[in-house]
Amino acid sequence: MRSLPALAAAAVAATLLLAGCSASGDASSTNAASSDCTPTASGSASEGVTVAGDFQAAPTTTFTGPLTVDATQRTVVTTGDGAVVQNGDVATIDFTIYNGTSGKQVFSTLDAGGTQLQLTVDSTQFIPGIVNAVACSTVGSRVVAVIPPADGFGTTGNTSLGIAATDSMVMVADVEAIIPTRADGADQAPQDGFPTVTLDDTTGAPTVTIPSADPPATLQTEVLKKGTGATVADGDNVTVQYQGLVWGTGKVFDQSWGQGGPRTFQTTGVVKGFAAAMVGQTVGSQVLVVIPPDQGYGSAGNSAAGISGTDTLVFVIDILNTTTPPATTPTPTPTP
């Protein structure tokens, strides 16, 4: 297997599958699931791939290459009894990719140091063949897909993986969970002096009204919804929806709502105030945090986001999932 040592395993997995890596990139040209979730069809190529091993364990996969298909084929190896993954859902998956010509394994989240991928089922965000493999599967399923270049890395291939422009890919994916797209915890009583938050009935996207008073000088946190899931630990990879605003102007400078959906951050890879708002909270919670400059972007600010060195920040954070990364996973570049 080719090694990609310079990148964290989670970042590698996400980067490999981004839609920008695909030359096709046009969701209309793919077999993306419709609203009633019609799965991508099986075929002789995907049915000819033999997969052994337990769910959530490294698969033993055999096939005779080269495998050539005109459109992605998907065969269910093991059928789970969980919910159906719909378009727009965020699915937690483990996956292994093989070169469809040589049969060589080129990447797996199940290798040492690997970690699950949280895949948004959207072919404008991730390469279409991968999305089509997962869409309409039930949680608990293991699926195998044979993906042509047009639904994969396109005419450029992927030199990091040793996949040429003419090579198909074979993917074995375990569909492990569907992550909610909004916090579902119990509503908590509002606290005086904090910004007020109203939520869109359909999407859960917040609208924040900031008081006209001066911001507090120290970090302040308010729990708006209290979840009953796992507790976020320092160093965890946390999947969130979030919106960030500047206290003085109320301007939204960054958010996940309407901008691709939930994101995953490591608590050690974000600004101090954002991390402090997550650590110790439970999955399903919604938290509002007011972050003074010294726990945000400091005196330098963040000019790209329109944040000055004196700006106090406000974030609304929906905590959707938390996982402990492998000990060998490096710390990501700080965001947001």
Give the residue extent of every domain in the chain: 9-179, 186-323
Mean per-residue pLDDT, 170-198: 95
- Candidates 295, 255, 46; CA nearest to 169 is 46
> Same CATH topology for 9-179 and 186-323?
yes
Are 305 and 253 in contact by the 8 Å Cβ rule? The answer is yes
- Supply the CATH classification number for the domain 9-179: 3.10.50.40
Bigger pLDDT: 249 vs 335: 249
pLDDT of residue 221: 98
pLDDT of residue 329: 41
Q: What is the pLDDT of residues 187-208, one digit of tens each?
A: 999 999 999 999 999 999 999 9
Q: What is the pLDDT of residues 317-332, one digit of tens each?
A: 999 999 887 654 444 4
Could you say which architecture CATH assigns to the domain 186-323? Roll (3.10)
Distance in angstroms (rounded) separating the CA atoms of residues 298 and 307 = 10
Distance in angstroms (rounded) separating the CA atoms of residues 290 and 147 = 46
Where do runs of H (alpha helix) occur along the chain?
9-17, 44-47, 128-134, 272-278
- Candidates 246, 30, 35; CA nearest to 130 is 30
Mean per-residue pLDDT, 118-141: 90
pLDDT of residue 235: 92
